[in-house]
Structure 1
């Protein structure tokens, strides 16, 4: 599967110049823009910074015919097609999605790297969408990554600072951060482990247990540093608030009993700790010698079972069972008297319910043109939560 891309160009003042002829790129995922930039350079000799998605011809990713907005420093020599697009400001537009935004962020990153004695020799835009903008910066002293995130992910830098002090090497090395959501990360060798097999997932789970056991003693410190507090009753209120604008009829009973269910989870005796929030193998990077967990923007302080449920989410029950059993055995050994299995059973429907609330939060904080990234995620997660609740028989 691929994408067909129409790239509408604006100048530094945000004035529309017209559109490049449509072209195809191999990456189907809408937020990936490296191939868009490369093809514009290769086909038309245009150096462009992709700002944001304008339109899509289908309701959700991947693939299709997409129209993006891109910025150029000078009008290109290639003839452009006249277009009519709405370029009016929007209060929820990300800083990196506005003309001049990428240049300002890259100037900040280059300045920080220069301060560290690491001059920048090359820059490559990798991703831009409502949740982040990412560039790779290369130089004679190694590569680095500039990541810029919205306000609801800005606690990622606080998590990375804590990891660096309490569990060195478990997260990306934070080189710099500011108060606008920009973080500068050292390059991690290897590749994202989307294709991790059962053995590697088991190793990820074991490593993560060690981290969570350590973080359980630092929960208050993490909350004070700005990591969201979703412990017990706070989680119930947070979920209900974010799902309020959406049709919740499929999970009405689950929501009504959520406080009681979370009380039962607390009675299982496991400590609250640092939760990654999106611990699938694609958020683990490795090179065969070490593994590093990346993308901590979804992190919160809460129940550790959410991460093992996410790590095993795409596995069939027979494949997931040994990972869940090992997870429970570790917690029983480290917290005598606890009941990890019961906690997992109670939280099975809560995990997709929480994800529905996460997607609802995204939708509430992004401009309408980017809603197709997430609009179908809310009802899909609510459906999964309802199905899990119907399947589970609560322990007495």
Structure 2
């Protein structure tokens, strides 16, 4: 029996002891996930390697800070990178709706997610101290330069533009927050609209999340309405500033996507051919 499973069963005890049904449902270089059947319903065990171990500390911290819309762990073992989570039910992707209803649902997801982000503004430094990657706008020129040097040297042609845009985004605001960086309909529970799978998360400009979040199938209709619903969480921003911050946040979000892909590939000895150049692909989109 795997060590994370032994730990989880010891935490659960009682009806979910050694005779509990345990199923490995995901085995990836950046995490392993088991479904554990208990008398009161399933729970989920996630084991994170060193490159994504910050997810365990992150979820534990969000629970301690009572951040809204965050899934509260049942137990954590931060030194090992293990976390035991309650069942969140089906994902948004698993519960299809007609286009208009789906768009309204996704707008509600974004409103809830914005509340999560606003609640973490005051904790940006704390999150970085926990190991969550620091990809705040001020860091992005140096991050971009390093990534481009390794993955897409031709993208260095836009380094000065990236530097200018990062400085403008810092000036526009809003403050850096927790940024999921892979907020799609397969990473959000239908019940409560709560995001999960925070392994790609970083501390960055909140609007960088919209790179992925406004491109989900849920938004075949109503993309503009979903965007406005999300932005309503920042009423202090003038409309023109908010629009420009979204434009820049989405554009520079390509740097954070390249960074998260690089972290994933570091743990993947033999990735599929389609994924091997993902960081470079994201960086080259900045040339468009």
TM-score class, shorter-chain normalisation, is 0.7 to 0.9
Match of 2:143 in 1: 238
Alignment match, 1:41: none
Give SS of 2:133's match: coil
In structure 1, list runs of 5 or more residues that go unmatched: 1-101, 388-396
CA distance in 2, matches of 1:255, 1:308: 22
Among 278, 281, 289, the alignment partner of 2:182 is 278
| Per-residue Cα deviation, 1:128-159 (whole angstroms, up to 9, x for no partner) | 12121111011223321111122221111222
Residue of structure 2 equivalent to 1:81: none
1:224 and 2:92 are equivalent in the alignment: no
Greater relative contact order (Cα < 8 A, sep 6+)? 2
How do residues 116-265 of structure 1 correspond to structure 2 at under 5 angstroms?
118-119=16-17, 121-167=20-66, 170-178=69-77, 179-188=79-88, 190-194=89-93, 195=96, 197-249=102-154, 251-265=155-169
- Is the 1:173–1:185 contact (alpha carbons within 8 Å) kept by the matching residues of 2? yes
Pairs aligned (count) = 279
Residue 329 of structure 1 and its aligned partner are, at CA, apart by 4.0
Matched residue SS, 1:170:
coil
User: Where is the strand percentage greater, Structure 1 or Structure 2?
Assistant: 1
Q: 1:167 to 1:336 in 2, by over 3 A?
A: farther
- Is 1:108 aligned to 2:11, yes or no? no
- How large is the RMSD of aligned CA atoms in angstroms? 2.6
Deviations 1:24-55 (A, max 9, x none): xxxxxxxxxxxxxxxxxxxxxxxxxxxxxxxx
Q: Which runs of 5+ in 2 are unaligned?
A: none
- SS class of match (2:26): strand
* Structure number having the greater helix percentage: 2
The change in CA–CA distance for 1:338 and 1:301 in structure 2 (over 3 A counts) is farther
The more displaced of 316-325 and 262-271 is 316-325
Asked if 1 retains the 8 angstrom alpha-carbon contact of 2:251 and 2:286, the reply is yes
Tell me: CA distance 1:347–1:283, structure 2 relative to 1, closer, same or farther (3 Å).
same
Judge conservation of contact 2:45–2:84 (CA < 8 Å) in 1: yes
Bigger radius of gyration: 1
Residue 359 (structure 1) aligned to one of 255, 261, 283: 261
What do the CA deviations read for 1:286-343 (whole angstroms, capped 9, x no partner)?
Answer: 23xx222111111111111011232102468974222223333431x14569822111
Residues 168 and 264 (structure 1 numbering): CA distance in 2 closer, same or farther, change over 3 Å? closer
Secondary structure of the structure 2 residue equivalent to 1:366:
coil
8 Å CA contact 1:268–1:338 kept in 2: the answer is no
Q: Matches of 1:159 and 1:338 in 2, distance apart?
A: 33
Q: CA deviation at 1:113?
A: 1.9
Give the conservation status (yes or no) of the 8 Å contact 2:22–2:34: yes
Instruction: Please say if residues 163 and 170 of structure 1, whose CA atoms lie closer than 8 Å, have aligned partners that are also in contact.
Output: no
Q: Does 1:266 align with 2:170?
A: yes
